[in-house]
Amino acid sequence: MAVSLFAASCKKDITERNQVFEALAPANPDSTAGAWTPILTGSSTFTLALPDAKGTPNYTADLNEIKSYQKNLTSEQKDIIKYWSAGSVLRWNEILRELVAKHNLPPYQNDDGTYPFPSAANPLAYPLFPFSNPPYAARAYAYVSAAQYDALVQTFKFKYTSGYRREAPYANDANVQALVPKSKLPSYPSEDAAVAGATAQMMILLFPGDLDYIQKKVAEEKLYRLMAGANTRSDWDAGENLGKQVANVFLARARADKANLAAGAKDDWTKLETDAKAAGNTPWISLELPHRPPMLPLFPKVTPILMPAADVVAIRPAAPFKEGSAEYQKDMDEVMAMSKNYDRDHERIVAFWADGVGTATPPGHWNSIAAEEFVKHNWSEVRWARNMALLNMAEMDAAIVCWDTKYFYFNPRPTQMVAGIKTLTGIPNFPSYISGHATFSGAAATVLGYLVPERATEFMTMANEAGMSRLYGAIHYRNDCTVGLATGVKVGTYAVNRAKTDGAN
Amino acid sequence: MKYFLRYTYRYCVGIIACVALSQTVCAQTESDAIMIPKNYLCVAGMYAHNSWDNYWEGTLKRDNLNLGTVSSNIYNAGLVYGLSNRINISAFVPYIQTKASAGTLRGQRGFQDINLAFKWMAIREQIGTGILSFHAIATGSIPVSDYQGDYLPFALGSRSKSVALRGLINYQRGRFFIAGAGQYIRKDNITIDRDAYYTTEMHYTNQVALPNATNFLVSAGFRSLLLNVEAIATKYTTLGGFDITRNNMPFPSNRMNATAVGGLVKYMPQYVRGLEFTIGGSYVTSGRNVGQNTQIMGGIDYVFSVKKEKN
């Protein structure tokens, strides 16, 4: 009795939110998505072998493979079906968030007080490549989402091209069961495979030290499609092949977007300091010990994915409040008051939105918010991909615009200006103005508010809270947060404008 | 024999903080063989100071210039009551302040958990020229304030409810004793302010499953009417949990292990019957995902009968 009471006295079970997602059953299959405007591959040509027709020995063998799987599915295999049936774009988005969180760790210093930089050529040596800080993560989410979207648009083009059209296994053979909701879409090439192929190919660049894990997930998803009777092996292989071809276009762009130069070198770091001094401002200094070089100071030079490069400078906000001015002092006093404020609700908000070391970053948090909203809408995979791409392209450009502002003004954090300001969360290692959290959140809420208009106000309230969390945490001035939010909204508008004309409405 | 009983029964309580990166506070009364008699009440107050510069990131020992020295002050107050000569109950509530000497992160302060204990001397036998006793001790802790458990290394505690069972065996011969104890601690899930977290994989929930733990103790020393001196070694082991990865932040469900050695001196002045002073200290000799803590403590308590003594 006493023992069972003891054993029952503490809860140990947890059901995570993403474990209870239902199988994706799109209300509208978006069968005309082949005509939607792709991001990068509008004028690309891709090649794909024609599928074997129904009744050919190869196709019959494919169907028999499915039937042999379905004859005795283990509970583990049924779990795989349940997991992946929630959606390919959704699950790959989660996997990407997980990799970002795993790699979002600032390198430990060298013995001489300098810091090592991760090397893409040697990703498994310490410090592991990449350090997926917010700009890195924003760009990774953008390329993966955009590649998935284009891969699906190209997939839809082939699906309805004469000669390629082939129905799902369960439609072609009465003895194949559909263990996922039936789709009216032709099955060749597989949408899931296109998403998986595109994603895995992008990971060669973005998370090269985790390819074993990625390939295991690809294999698992492939098995899921076969076991579920949703695709044949040849449907899958064609989709995966097409996804990789599409991803190669994105890889070429990503390799040339100057992100690989974003860390800069000592001369760049020194120049930021001397430029700020020349302009009569106090230059930012790292508050870490030993002082860490500023995070990705040349990220502003990365080619934006949605907006014209010239607009990065055009929408750069006006200078922060001048040191010593009345507005500056008012903001500083507020930060000092926040530092001494023990309001539990402030602590909660700061922690909820902190998204710091070891997390999926603020763009990742907004991906999670988006995903949990999108599952309610029963969108098709291609619409999922399009909406995620809009969100994440806005986040990538928000990173560029925000980092441009940060390094153009190079202004200090409150704690640098007044010794003894204690913070409720870690101080990120880059200048204060404008808040990254506010910028990312303003852009995300703008895109999500367009996609789900009934929740637009709520998303903007959340974005505002995310921005304000940085003031409550005493790591940002109010002005950093309000201007950041407004700037994020401007960036988000580029994605909304694209969404209005991409053919998906 | 009667003389022996008197001094065995008299003492009240000390404090031991089995301190990891988070603070775990338990009153010494949960881990020693000392009982107070029926209808006696002990009112106790203690102070402990913890500090560490080095900690173990997984198994790698390191310092952190952005934390400097992490320290905490624990003010623990409580009561012990003798339900019978063989059953004592106690309740303690600590107030804790934490801070770091470097970096910008703000420390925490506030009341932590109420720690309740039920201590039963199940066996008491004369063996040879000494006395062997066995005690079963059930304890539980419940957070008394809404502090942030997910704010290591500054969190006041893990903000978990827990229950624990401990068996303690004590052998006393003359004024010398030796004791050993084993404890199993079962911890409830905690709710954190974040809605997702990464351990060795991603979790989309604000619930965190904390690993259970064991705690073993050996102690030996001297007890007289005037003075009690003892040396204590403890080994706290988390059953599960994950290691902090390189240069990452600690998390409540880390695998936190610590082996500590320490000692206590208790002085009972003869001019005020029932008054006791305790000083003590402990030092973590090895650990995993915990700070290499040094603790110094002091306590004062007063034991008195709440019923008129029939003499």
Decide: A144 and A199 in contact? Cβ < 8 Å: yes
pLDDT of residue A11: 82
Number of A/B CB contacts below 8 angstroms equals 111
Q: What is the mean pLDDT of residues A343-370?
A: 98
Q: Do B189 and A11 touch (CB under 8 A)?
A: yes
**Residue extents of the structural domains in chain A:** 20-41+62-255, 286-316+323-501
Decide: B276 and B12 in contact? Cβ < 8 Å: yes
CB-based contacts of A410, cutoff 8 Å, min separation 6: A272, A273, A275, A276, A281, A283, A284, A431
Q: What is the mean pLDDT of residues A281-287?
A: 97
Give me the sign of the Cα torsion angle A320, A326, A327, A333.
positive
Is pLDDT above 70 for B214?
A: yes
pLDDT of residue B2: 37
Q: Do A108 and B247 touch (CB under 8 A)?
A: yes
Secondary structure tally for chain B: helices H, strands E: 1, 21
Which has more pLDDT, B202 or B223? B202
> Distance between CA atoms of B294 and A350, rounded to whole angstroms?
31
pLDDT of residue B34: 84
Q: What is the mean pLDDT of residues A286-313?
A: 98
pLDDT of residue B215: 94
pLDDT of residue B32: 81
Is pLDDT above 50 for A186?
A: yes
Using 50, 70 and 90 to split pLDDT, how confident is the model at B7?
very low
Q: What are the tens digits of pLDDT across the range A132-185?
A: 999 999 999 999 999 999 999 999 999 999 999 999 999 999 999 999 999 999
pLDDT of residue A10: 82
Nearest CB neighbour to A351, from listed B109, B193, B248: B193
Nearest Cα residue in chain B from A107: B247
In A, which residues are within 8 Å of B247 by CB distance? 105-108
Q: What is the mean pLDDT of residues A83-105?
A: 98
Burial class of residue A208, CB neighbours in 10 A (0-12, 13-18, 19+) = middle
Q: What are the tens digits of pLDDT across the range A241-254?
A: 999 999 999 999 99
> Distance between CA atoms of B250 and B257, rounded to whole angstroms?
13
Decide: B108 and B151 in contact? Cβ < 8 Å: yes
In A, which residues are within 8 Å of B246 by CB distance? 105, 108, 126-127
Using 50, 70 and 90 to split pLDDT, how confident is the model at B1?
very low
Q: What is the mean pLDDT of residues B258-282?
A: 93
> Distance between CA atoms of B80 and B29, rounded to whole angstroms?
8
Q: What are the tens digits of pLDDT across the range A423-440?
A: 999 999 999 999 999 999
Q: Do B188 and A11 touch (CB under 8 A)?
A: yes
> Distance between CA atoms of B34 and B12, rounded to whole angstroms?
7
Per-residue CA distances from B168 to B33, B125, B141, B172 (Å): 7, 14, 19, 13
In A, which residues are within 8 Å of B142 by CB distance? none
Give me the sign of the Cα torsion angle A495, A498, A502, A505.
positive
Quickly list DSSP for A280-318.
T-PPP---SSSPPPPS-TTGGGSPPSSS-HHHHHHTPPP
Q: What are the tens digits of pLDDT across the range A488-501?
A: 999 999 999 999 99
pLDDT of residue A9: 76
Decide: A491 and A442 in contact? Cβ < 8 Å: yes
**Residue extents of the structural domains in chain B:** 2-305
pLDDT of residue A6: 77
Using 50, 70 and 90 to split pLDDT, how confident is the model at A1?
low
Q: Do A359 and B109 touch (CB under 8 A)?
A: no
Is pLDDT above 70 for B6?
A: no
- What value does the mean pLDDT of chain A take? 97
In B, which residues are within 8 Å of A347 by CB distance? 148, 151, 193
Distance from CA of A100 to the nearest CA of B (A): 10
Which residues of chain B are at the A interface, by a Cβ-Cβ cutoff of 8 Å? 65-66, 102-107, 109, 140, 146, 148, 150-151, 161-163, 165, 186-189, 192-198, 201-205, 207-209, 245-249
Q: What are the tens digits of pLDDT across the range B47-71?
A: 999 999 999 999 999 999 999 999 9
Domains A20-41+62-255 and A286-316+323-501 share a fold: yes
Q: In the CATH hierarchy, which top-level class contains the domain A20-41+62-255? A: mainly alpha
CA B14 to chain centre: 9
Q: Do B106 and A339 touch (CB under 8 A)?
A: yes
In B, which residues are within 8 Å of A94 by CB distance? 202, 204
Least confident of A292-306, A413-427, B269-283: B269-283
Q: Which residue blocks in chain B are alpha helix, DSSP H?
A: 2-10
> Does 1.20.120.140 match the CATH number of domain A286-316+323-501?
no
- Residue range B2-305, CATH number: 2.40.160.40
Q: What are the tens digits of pLDDT across the range B91-125?
A: 999 999 999 999 999 999 999 999 999 999 999 99
